[in-house]
Structure 1
Amino acid sequence: MYSETPALPVIEPVVRDDMIAACYEVMRELRPHLTADEFVARVRQQATAGYRLAAAFVNDEVVAVAGFRVCENLAWGRFLYVDDLVTRSDRRSRGYGAALLAWLKQQAVTEGCIQVHLDSGTWRTDAHRFYEREGMRLSSFHFVWDVVGMSAS
């Protein structure tokens, strides 16, 4: 039986608007509330606070996307925070997400970070297994309080 070996992805920072737009369909799988019309503008706006995109390409097709930023705080020092990490659903289990995460880890080293952090929804058990398999560990709980509806008085 013949089994095709997946092509190795090319990982690149995404900097041009046309490249950002090309990432939308993949990012939409993780962030379905975003629309194509607003995606580039939202990425550009977040970039003013240090947000960046990187993508895994196979044959010029986006197969995985990561949104990340380099931050520093008193708790962790300098760290790379992964806001978004998603592989196209029909391309999972081919090593593309692992390759992109490895690229992010190397980016953290290059930028003088001491850790890589990310949050993952409690219901995303497949993602949790992936992160643990890639050497990450569960280190904390993340709590949220919605401000919507509160007055500023």
Structure 2
Amino acid sequence: MQNAKVEIADTDAKIAACFPVMHELRPHLKDAAELVARVKRQHKEGFMLAYAADGNGVPAACIGFRRQERLVHGPLIYVDDLVTTATGRSRGYGALLLDWVEGIARHEGRKVVDLDSGTHRAEAHRFYFRQRYSISSFHFLKHIK
């Protein structure tokens, strides 16, 4: 990961280029067009998608996040998605993206970066611990039929 930089996916083409990466984390997404449509809808809620590119300019890792405010923490950044391609893991892309989002939080006076990680993702959990994140709560979910 030499000279990798973070870029915001702010066009349909950039969002679509993130599809192969995002599909590794979100396999229910059927194609790039669906990703583009979902990201554009979520933009209305403050969602942003950014990526770190490999040496060829191809996204190797993506981060989706939004600015929020909660009673418990005040202003924060919530990370919806963080994923690195299987071939790009352990090369520093994930840490680069988290550092970048933490820099935004620091610059904006936000004291917290918050994220959830599926209970089955032990490898991701080890990564978050190395990045000095801690488990602060359980996240509960109920599917409504």
The residue number in structure 1 matching 2:93 is: 96
TM-aligned CA deviation for residue 108 of structure 1: 1.1
Tell me if 1:68 matches 2:65: yes
Misfit runs of 4+, over 4 Å: none
TM-score, normalized by length of structure 2? 0.95
Partner Cα separation in structure 1 for residue 108 and residue 46 of structure 2: 13
Tell me if 1:55 matches 2:51: yes
The residue number in structure 2 matching 1:22 is: 17
Please give the secondary structure, in 2, of the residue aligned with 1:107: helix
- Quick one: which of 35, 41, 53 aligns to 1:39? 35
Of 114-123 and 103-112, the range deviating more from structure 2: 103-112
Partner Cα separation in structure 1 for residue 47 and residue 3 of structure 2: 26
- Quick one: which of 4, 7, 12 aligns to 1:12? 7
Partner Cα separation in structure 1 for residue 106 and residue 79 of structure 2: 14
Please give the secondary structure, in 2, of the residue aligned with 1:122: coil
Aligned partners of 1:8 and 1:96 also within 8 Å: no
RMSD: 0.9
Give the letter aligned to residue 48 of structure 1. K
In the comparison of the two structures, how many residue pairs are matched? 143
Q: Name stretches of at least 5 consecutive residues in structure 1 with no aligned partner.
A: 1-5, 149-153
Please give the secondary structure, in 1, of the residue aligned with 2:104: helix
% identical equivalent positions:
48
TM-score, normalized by length of structure 1? 0.90
Give the letter aligned to residue 56 of structure 1. A
